[in-house]
Chains A and B, each alone.
Chain A
Amino acid sequence: MKEIDYLAPSSLGEAYAALQNGKTSAFLAGGTDIIVQLREGRKEVDQLIDVKHIPELMSYAWTDDGGLVIGASVPFAEIYEDDEIVRRLPCVIDCATLVGGIQIQSRACFGGNIGNSGPAADTVPALIALGATLTLGSADGTRDLPLEDFFTGPGQNVLGPGELIITINVPPQPANSGSFFHRFIPRNEMDIAVVNVGARIDLDASGERIEGARISVGAVAPVPLFVAAAGDALVGETPTEDSFARAADIAAEAATPITDMRGSIAQRVHLTRVLTYRALDRALERAREA
């Protein structure tokens, strides 16, 4: 096994400098993806840049308008142990509590799950449903982009060579809105999603009509999908079995999965429909509670 340099920058500036020293790099956040990949020879780099000593990446805060800005390296456990996040953004908790077990959750983070850019990443459909954006930074400055525009293929994303994820930004959620994320795995724990779905429903003040909806599906395409058409089809509709079923059909049509040891094409398309329907149902419940 090849020797790897370890760097631990304590500021963004130091991190940007490290990215420009001519070596190939990976970031070390929780290490729950990258260490496994390096050990199994699935990835090779010259240096690991530890991103757990950069203050901007290690904290989270509410914005004045009610959004949540999460530092890329904040471990999941810190997020789901925060009562206010549990209360205000249950969909963030849905995914944060699902990734691995307690050991993994104490190390792993959103930045790592997104940075790893796996098609089945569990936090992504949840965050896309919530309308999250990323703030990326490099020596040239920062830029924001919608999470759904970040991924370009399995393990691939738009990050430039000198760039990293600084924060994940969950915007303020409308009143009468509810979101839900879940996945299907063959066992009750320890698995990679066969399909995972995040859904958000925004109701009007009467609670009878849908004003907006966002649906995102993972593990059914080279990148996590934001199926805008499925959400749009619900706008102006009443939340009924029929309207949900139609949206679920649209989501299923958008799925272009593969057959592998984790599931077949037919199963994944079918599950996309089932999970989308069920996610909408649970999101509706939460919207009504909101």
Chain B
Amino acid sequence: MTTTEKPDYKVIGTRPIRPDGVEKVTGKALYGADIHLPDLVQGAVLRSPHAHARILSIDTSAAEAMPGVLAVVTHSDLPVVADKVLDMGEGASTASDMSKNVLAADKALYRGHAVAGVAATNVHDALTAIEAIKVEYEVLPPVLNVQDAMRDDAPLLDASRHTKTPTGEESENASNVAAHNRFEGGDVEAAYAEADVVVEREFDTKMVHQGYIEPHNGTANWNSDGTLTVWTSTQGAFAVRGALAELLQLPVSRIRVIPMEIGGGFGGKIGVYLEPVAALLSRKCGRPVQLTMDRTDVFQATGPTSGGHMKGKIAVKDGKITAAEVSLAFEAGAFPGSPVMAGAMCMLSPYEVENFKVDAYDVVVNKPKVAAYRAPGAPNASFCVEQLIDELARETGADPLQFRLDNSAHEGTRMITGVAHPRIGQEETVQAAQASDHYQSPIEGPNRGRGVAGGFWFNAGMQSSVVASVNPDGTVNLIEGSTDIGGTRAALAMQLAETLGIEYDSVRPTVVDTDSVGHNDVTGGSRTAYASGQAVYEAGLDIQQQMVARAAQLWECEAEDVEFVDGALRHTSDSEKTMTFAELAGKQMETGGPLQGRGSVVARSPGAAFGVHVVDVEVDPDTGKVDILRYTIAQDVGTAVHPAYVEGQMQGGVVQGIGWALNEEYYYGEDGRMENASFLDYRMPTSLDLPMIDTIIVEVPNPGHPYGVRGVGEVPIVPPLAAIANAVHDATGHRFTELPISPRRVVEELHNLQ
């Protein structure tokens, strides 16, 4: 569905094969653990068996004396770093927290928290050696959810932490609440007093993991000249470099990060875990060191996303939402930095809400420090808001999509942050869902129900930098620094081909290391196709300009008399004078030498993304199993550069949302141990649990991008939690306010089991 007349693109909108495709499907692509270096040794990490414990002493002498052991490191090997904030792109942390997360200092704050690292000639020696490290712990009671953590008498993870309050002051008492923020506008109480209907409920969600296939890895070589080379699969080589410079107190220029292919990230591969430990080990033993995680480590010791507790109250008058009051408390894990603010700022953004009061609490608990996960914070918050909206639509007898349309935000509507929406596609997206074959077809049969929900994600801009070299045969090498997770090599090559008017196959994109291209922020925030796309466009314009100048030089005319049109140079008044892109590319030596285009941007207008989902479910009331019968997602993507990858992102987000809604959760024992730290018992959906997910691409071009591109990768995970809860309610008459809506929860609640 195209909502405005689209320019007549030649490459954008087609579905070419991705440049990295063949290598990946034939198993030749090199991922993080595939790197083999001369003299490479393996390492292992000792992890805390306790969720909360003071580390009284660490004795590494026995381990150091073992055969094959080359080096042992602990937190004391890390330099002391300041409390400086490190913005990693999606999620920030202070350098000192990050340092304590990489190797525990005075306290182990979650089970799996790294305590020491060992390098040895082989992995078996390293694994044997970590068992010989003697750690004396004083075990403390763990705090495992936000409600417990917020109690006045809760054990404190950090006795020196006080709450940053909405006024900017610090709380008097120490607290596990790192920050409390508030957004307030209008008069909610007055609106409640006049409302036709007010609904109010509390909701709970659990910690969940991104579940990427490739475990974390880090290989480091600390050279004797003091330079450091790191190979890792990451969403942001530059973010890793910046973090390493801070944590190891090295000049940025001395660190080279070589990004390997990445087996999924979804936000979870931005922070550093193993890289600094491998670097310290390498410095100590003088050899390159490789560290890898197994799945249990990945679950226990990387960054999942927050569970939390939410409370919402929304009012309606004459079919319009008049007030919303929402309080969100999200688990940050062991150190501050949950995505609660993002959740708070997203959840009401699809709608016009004049009177609001939103509280957001960032709460530390004895669980791994959370990381970004696809539209971080928004899915949880929308689980609360979109269920309340569903209830309001029901209570007022409105169709749930029409109700959303009637309340939709549009250009000029202010979000709770006070920022006005530019041109957005919220209304078009709701209308696309309304018009879908799915929504137009009735849902019939016992125990079946339909649910809908909407969602919003800001999308990010940030910095990108590319270089494009024109080859004598008219092909172009595109040098970029954005990790390719979702097909961005193709999406960027397509935008360059479009700008230059040449074939897609003429552009060869390569993702290079941090020494070889200007700074690029992470592949996160759905920013790459948009922001790196803008850099690519600028590099294309740069090439165009230089080619125009060179053609003018050859034709002995003014540059104003030369046009660059459809991949060719033309003299504006002399039709005899034309040159193809390739012809001019072949004349580089005589026109000034190698031709390179550069593009460096701070992209500041990421068009926000909106999605509306429709789902049909069938609930077996006796076993509690929820089957997804049909699923349709409509989403405004701005311009679909490569529609197949856009659809893939939409479907992938839905799949992760379905898992989050139905089965995924960190299942903790009272001792703070995650009991299901494997893919057997951490139940992500398999292909057999999913129907075909139908996609409706809505294109309302982003006015802030030359091709109208908006980020697409994150917003599709926002609506599924609520859409499914709404569908299950429709099927059973029971509202599930706690995730996951697992068979266990469904039978326990439907049959009142205890």
List chain A positions with a Cβ less than 8 A from chain B.
1, 184, 186-192, 194, 260-264, 266-267, 270-271, 274
New A-B pairs, 15, CB < 8 Å, besides A189-B689, A266-B754? A184-B625, A186-B742, A186-B744, A187-B686, A187-B689, A188-B686, A192-B680, A261-B675, A262-B681, A264-B744, A267-B624, A267-B743, A267-B753, A270-B751, A271-B747
**Interface residue B676 (Cβ < 8 Å from any Cβ of A):** yes
Q: Do A194 and B680 touch across chains, with their CB atoms under 8 A apart?
A: no
Q: Which residues of A contact B663 (CB under 8 A)?
A: 186-187
CB B710 to nearest CB in A, in angstroms, measures 33
Q: Which residue from B623, B675, B689, B742 sits with its C-beta under 8 Å from A274? A: B623
**Interface residue B124 (Cβ < 8 Å from any Cβ of A):** yes
Show 14 A/B contacts (Cβ-Cβ < 8 Å), sorted by A.
A186-B744, A187-B685, A187-B686, A188-B686, A188-B688, A191-B683, A261-B667, A261-B675, A261-B676, A264-B748, A267-B747, A267-B748, A267-B753, A274-B622
Q: How long is the Cα–Cα vector from A194 to B745 in the complex, in angstroms?
A: 13
If A184-B743, A187-B663 touch, whether A261 touches B681 (CB-CB below 8 Å) is yes
Nearest A residue to B668 via CB reads: A261
**Interface residue B512 (Cβ < 8 Å from any Cβ of A):** no
Nearest A residue to B662 via CB reads: A186
CB B681 to nearest CB in A, in angstroms, measures 5
Q: Which residue from B686, B743, B748 sits with its C-beta under 8 Å from A194? A: B743
CB A15 to nearest CB in B, in angstroms, measures 30
Which residues from 703 to 754 on chain B have a C-beta closer than 8 Å to any C-beta of chain A?
742-744, 747-748, 751, 753-754
Q: Do A266 and B683 touch across chains, with their CB atoms under 8 A apart?
A: no
**Interface residue B462 (Cβ < 8 Å from any Cβ of A):** no
Q: Which residue from B124, B622, B685, B748 sits with its C-beta under 8 Å from A266? A: B748
B interface, how many residues as a size bin?
Answer: 20 to 34
**Interface residue B127 (Cβ < 8 Å from any Cβ of A):** yes
Nearest A residue to B659 via CB reads: A187
Q: Which residues of B contact A1 (CB under 8 A)?
A: 124, 127
Q: Do B680 and A190 touch across chains, with their CB atoms under 8 A apart?
A: yes
Interface flags, B650-692, vs A, CB<8A=1, else 0: 0000000000001100010000000110001101011011000
CB A258 to nearest CB in B, in angstroms, measures 12
CB B670 to nearest CB in A, in angstroms, measures 12
Q: Which residues of A contact B675 (CB under 8 A)?
A: 260-261
If A266-B754, A267-B753, A274-B622 touch, whether A186 touches B124 (CB-CB below 8 Å) is no
Q: How long is the Cα–Cα vector from A262 to B665 in the complex, in angstroms?
A: 12
Nearest A residue to B746 via CB reads: A267
Q: Which residues of A contact B680 (CB under 8 A)?
A: 190-192
Q: Which residues of B contact A186 (CB under 8 A)?
A: 625, 662-663, 683, 742-744
Nearest B residue to A268 via CB reads: B744
Q: How long is the Cα–Cα vector from A67 to B688 in the complex, in angstroms?
A: 35
Ranked nearest first, the 8 interchain pairs of A and B with the lowest CB-CB distance are A266-B753, A188-B688, A261-B667, A261-B676, A274-B622, A261-B675, A267-B744, A189-B688
Q: Which residues of B contact A262 (CB under 8 A)?
A: 681
Nearest B residue to A273 via CB reads: B622
Q: Which residues of B contact A189 (CB under 8 A)?
A: 686, 688-689
Q: How long is the Cα–Cα vector from A267 to B623 in the complex, in angstroms?
A: 9
Q: Which residues of B contact A274 (CB under 8 A)?
A: 622-623
Nearest A residue to B687 via CB reads: A189
If A186-B663, A186-B683, A192-B680 touch, whether A270 touches B688 (CB-CB below 8 Å) is no
Nearest A residue to B751 via CB reads: A270
Which residues from 396 to 446 on chain B have a C-beta closer than 8 Å to any C-beta of chain A?
none
CB B746 to nearest CB in A, in angstroms, measures 9
Nearest A residue to B674 via CB reads: A261
Nearest B residue to A259 via CB reads: B744
Nearest B residue to A269 via CB reads: B753
